[in-house]
Structure 1
Amino acid sequence: MARLKIHISRRSFLATGAAASAVLATPALSQQLPDTVQNRSEISATTRHNISAFRRMQWEPHFDSLRNGAILVDIDSRALHLWQEDGTHHLYPSSVPQSEDLTRRGRTRIVQKVVGPSWRPTPNMLRRNPEWPTVIGPGPDNPLGSHALYLGWTYYRIHGTHDTRKIGRRSSSGCIGLYNEHIAEVFDMTKVGTQVLLI
């Protein structure tokens, strides 16, 4: 009997229908992958890596402790993992930087938390786009969405977005983006001092 070979690209996986989209957009994905994915052994390496990031991960390989909580962002898989101090794990789909030269990896911490942040383009952004405004206040046009977690690296944030099309894509100029409802949850579960690792 001929064996059926199945190849799923990340794009086609994300576009397989409302059910798959709904699963990818919720933290519950860490509990259960859709049957259409679980039962397929022959999928691309990129898709396999992406799917693996949406399973429950352990914090111990990445952090010495959960003091103040911990956030792990997997850039390649576009997933944000959050562990609270008691070990409770949360998982969110994210947007990531558009290119490798805009991507920063390593360890940092949350140094400031802001509800209704104002957005200011970086000097490099203004050089590339001199027509941009120098500041956008809170509201539906603000690229930082409803909440922002400022990291110890200048110009880097974990923040919300009003443009939900960006989530799950390489679409930022360096920051990590979440749906507004997800950044609100992460905002409430973290504190200044929460450790952050981008891999």
Structure 2
Amino acid sequence: MINKTNPVSRRRFLSSSVALGAAGLAAPALAQSMDPYTGQALQGTGGGATPDAGMVQFDNTQDSRRNISSFRMQDWQPYFSNLTNGAILVDLTSRALHYWSEDQSVYKLFPTSVPVSADLTRTGRTEIIKKVKGPTWSPTPEMKKRNPEWPDFVPAGPDNPLGTHALWLSWQYYRIHGTHDTRKIGRKSSNGCIGLYNEHIQQLYDLTTVGTQVLLI
């Protein structure tokens, strides 16, 4: 276990993350098959893996412009029986997030990042259980076992993989959050979480509450 304030370990962590990000741009197929923190093959989220805790990994052949025809307004009624506490629909195919307020006066449509592979993708119903402005990030115990030299803690700021705001879902380790790397939006680029531009997650953060319904399809 290292001291979370150890500057040497933090520099090592950041430099290795940048290197992995660059590798992802040069060789997208390799980047898709690797956990950006561990450097190991992706094995899903079992065993405590943290979805979307890493640098950019995406497939350049999956251009977000291909989604324009399916990036359209949706009606909430096919997906929810009511709008109590508001509702969020995440459409993984069109890579879009839809939000409806409880009184139906507000509708928002945002582009998102989505998981890179089927084994990292979770669908179904959940809800927001926690809201955090300026989220911090900590590796899971499994990550620390594999990479004991990594910092125990990444503070809020431009190096944090959760962006400026994060919404905790009832599924362990899953979030809807911002990102400081705008290249991820509109792509298969996360390890499980749903990412938004920081400007958009701030809007969603202000609109939602603990208990807001969430459906991923």
TM-score range, shorter chain: 0.7 to 0.9
State the aligned residue count.
Answer: 156
CA distance in 2, matches of 1:139, 1:165: 18
Give the SS at the match of 1:138.
coil
Give the SS at the match of 1:118.
coil
Give the structure 1 partner of residue 100 of structure 2.
Answer: 83
State the AA in 1 paired with 2:74.
M
- What percent of counterpart residues are identical? 65
CA distance in 2, matches of 1:127, 1:174: 21
Query: How has the CA–CA distance of structure 1 residues 129 and 71 changed in structure 2, closer, same or farther, with 3 Å as cutoff?
Result: farther
Q: What's the TM-score once normalised by structure 1's chain length?
A: 0.72
Query: How has the CA–CA distance of structure 1 residues 107 and 128 changed in structure 2, closer, same or farther, with 3 Å as cutoff?
Result: farther
CA distance in 2, matches of 1:198, 1:109: 10
1:80·1:91 contact (CA, 8 Å) conserved in 2?
yes
2:116·2:191 contact (CA, 8 Å) conserved in 1?
yes
CA distance in 2, matches of 1:104, 1:192: 20
Query: How has the CA–CA distance of structure 1 residues 127 and 101 changed in structure 2, closer, same or farther, with 3 Å as cutoff?
Result: farther
Instruction: Determine which of 130, 137, 141 is the counterpart of 1:112.
Output: 130
State the AA in 2 paired with 1:65.
N
Q: Which runs of 4+ in 1 moved over 4 A?
A: 123-131
Give the structure 1 partner of residue 169 of structure 2.
Answer: 151
Give the SS at the match of 1:178.
strand
1:146 is displaced (CA, Å) by 0.4
2:62·2:187 contact (CA, 8 Å) conserved in 1?
no
Query: How has the CA–CA distance of structure 1 residues 131 and 175 changed in structure 2, closer, same or farther, with 3 Å as cutoff?
Result: farther
Give the structure 2 partner of residue 70 of structure 1.
Answer: 87
Give the structure 1 partner of residue 111 of structure 2.
Answer: 93
CA distance in 2, matches of 1:70, 1:178: 17
Give the structure 1 partner of residue 17 of structure 2.
Answer: none
Computed over aligned residues only, the root mean square deviation of the Cα atoms, in angstroms, reads 1.8
Give the SS at the match of 1:192.
coil
Give the structure 2 partner of residue 59 of structure 1.
Answer: 76
Unmatched 5+ stretches in structure 2: 1-60
1:56·1:89 contact (CA, 8 Å) conserved in 2?
no
1:120 is displaced (CA, Å) by 1.9
Unmatched 5+ stretches in structure 1: 1-8, 15-46
Q: What's the TM-score once normalised by structure 2's chain length?
A: 0.67
Q: Quick one: higher RCO (CA 8 Å, sep 6+), 1 or 2?
A: 2
Query: How has the CA–CA distance of structure 1 residues 126 and 77 changed in structure 2, closer, same or farther, with 3 Å as cutoff?
Result: farther
1:122·1:155 contact (CA, 8 Å) conserved in 2?
no
